[in-house]
Amino acid sequence: MKITNICVNIFPISYIKNGLNLFAFSIYRVNKNEKVDSLKISINDILFDIKTLFKKGIKLITYKNYSYYFNVYKLNIPYSKIKDFPIQNPIYLLINNNKLPIVYNLFNLKKGKGKNSKLAFENNFVFYFRQGKRNSLNLTIREKLKTDSFKYQFKINLAWFISKLVIVKNKVLIFEKESYKYEESGSVVFEELMKKGFKNIYFVIDKDSIYIDRIPKIYLKNIIYKYTFKHYLYFFLKKTLIGTEMPTHVVDLRIANKKVNNSLLKGNYNYVFLQHGIMYMISLDSEKRAFFNKDNFHAKKIRIVTSSLVEKDHFISEGGFKEEEIYVCGLPKYDHNSIVKDPKKIVVMLTWRPWEYNQIRIDYTKTGYYKMVEKILQQIPKKYLDDVIFLPHPLIKNEFSNLSKYTLKNPIYDEVLRETKLLITDYSSIAYDAFYRGSNVIFCFEDKDLCLLEYKGKLLLNENNIFGDISYKYEDLKDLIVKNMNQGQNSEYIERYKKIVSFDDNNNTKRLIENLINDKFV
């Protein structure tokens, strides 16, 4: 049976004490000789029964080979059933088990993005419906943000209003992950631009960040503290954003504010993506990496900073970018990468698993991420245990802060890597950073195939281009750890690495700034 959903319009969305209520109407079609046997809603592959006003629907008309139906329905979604869902969840209407996307806004059928319903709060969770790509309906589940409160929403909206009175919008804002860090390429570019005398360059950072003391006093006058009125005003006065993450990090990750989202989506600014690390790992055409696809960059002009022709080709072929949008100049932070003379540390760091994000916040011990870390730690020979450090991914560091004696209270990743002899990872981009400094790397691939099923994509590193030993079973780790702790980097791995990271002359920042000036981004 062929079924096509014509449109589903979401109108009143209300919240009950223990869940969400969703009201919608739908017009859909089926083959004229078929009947509608069932209607359900699917979220994260979980089926929810809906209450319909007209059982199977009212037949409106039969035209050619199709019968068209109308219905109104209500869905109750208990918080208890969804709180451990992933952050973003597309919602589908199932008609006779055929999955159909639901349109968020009836008056924006073909395109639209960035709108959201009112927020519902339950403990430290926030639930709301969001307009996704191509006007699709999505359920967002995340932790509470400061910007969810009336105080900050008012401050943002006031800043937007004041910005409309300003004719010249020429601010250049630089930021790193969640506008919290000051140790990646953003800080390097910021300081170099300040040295060159640029006046309208500002770095955004949380005043409570552990990195504040790393900022040289001479540059403090051009620091903008996150959540301040000046922060929001300068955001709306931006000419260029330069960041190691997606543009939303300059305000608040997953912010629910129409003015901010519209400003990011309108594209009246330039964006330079510095990368937080080499992204030649999980392919950009993977479903869970889609947010780094060209379609999700809405700036007027875009530039991507890469480290080789191989990485450039990846962004073009798998990310959808144009050749002229790629800078092949190397990551600025690598100009400052260093390592101590005789490093001793064994560092365990895995990439994060977005499908486990909310489950980690509820009970991290039940996640595959936690179980993998435990199994790796169990394989490390006893004589090395005093030098072991576990670095959780930055997006989940708070949940793992008390995992074991191997975690640091407030780790600064750059400082840890300076003392790292061996990094054990799955496929985190930190592997490139560590190897550049001179550390050995072991790639633990036992869970690789299961994770790639979740990512719905492929791993770019393989036996022919990988720059470290591969552990296919946890039991392989003991011997590989001993081997790597007692030798330097393998010459074959060095040659492979150079094909992905071509620059080692400490001039990456210089090349990038020359490009930025030529393109009039600064």
* CB-based burial, 190-223: b 16+ in 10 Å, e otherwise: bbbbbeeebebbbbbbbeebebeeebeeebeebe
Question: What residue ranges in 192-333 does DSSP mark as E strands?
Answer: 201-205, 223-225, 238-243, 270-273, 301-306, 326-328
Report which of 181, 266, 262, 185 is spatially closest to residue 226, judged by C-alpha positions: 181
Q: Taking the CB of residue 59, how many other CB atoms lie within 10 A of it?
A: 15
Six-digit token string for 96: 């006779």
DSSP 372: H
Q: Taking the CB of residue 291, how many other CB atoms lie within 10 A of it?
A: 14
Q: How far apart are CA 122 and CA 445, in angstroms?
A: 37
pLDDT at residue number 403? 64
Six-digit token string for 302: 């875009």
Domain 149-335+507-518 matches domain 338-500 at the CATH topology level: yes
Please, are residues 137 and 42 in contact by the beta-carbon 8 Å criterion? Answer: no
pLDDT at residue number 6? 45
Q: Where are the domains of the chain?
A: 4-144, 149-335+507-518, 338-500
pLDDT tens, per residue, the chain with 522 residues: 444 454 454 554 667 778 888 888 787 777 888 777 778 889 988 899 888 888 778 888 888 888 888 888 888 888 888 888 888 898 888 887 778 888 787 766 555 567 888 888 888 889 988 887 777 888 999 989 999 999 999 999 999 999 999 999 999 999 999 999 999 999 999 999 999 999 999 999 999 999 999 999 999 999 999 999 999 999 999 999 999 999 999 999 989 999 999 999 888 999 999 998 899 998 888 877 777 888 888 899 999 999 999 999 999 999 999 999 999 999 999 999 999 999 999 999 998 787 887 777 777 788 888 899 999 999 999 999 999 999 887 766 666 666 668 888 888 889 999 999 999 999 899 999 999 999 999 999 998 888 888 888 889 999 999 999 999 999 999 999 999 999 999 999 999 999 999 999 999 999 999 999 999 999
pLDDT at residue number 12? 45
Residue 474 burial class via C-beta count within 10 angstroms: exposed 0-12, middle 13-18, buried 19 and up: middle
The structure tokens 């730690």 sit at 377
pLDDT at residue number 292? 81
Can you give the length of the chain in residues? 522
Contacts of 94 (CB under 8 A, 6+ apart): 38, 39, 40, 41, 42, 47, 100
Report which of 419, 422, 420 is spatially closest to residue 481, judged by C-alpha positions: 422
User: What's the CATH superfamily of 338-500?
Assistant: CDP-glycerol glycerophosphotransferase, C-terminal domain (3.40.50.12580)
- Tell me the CATH architecture of domain 149-335+507-518: 3-Layer(aba) Sandwich (3.40)
* CATH 2.60.40, applies to 4-144: yes
Q: Compute the CA torsion angle 354, 389, 461, 375 (nearest 10 deg).
A: -70
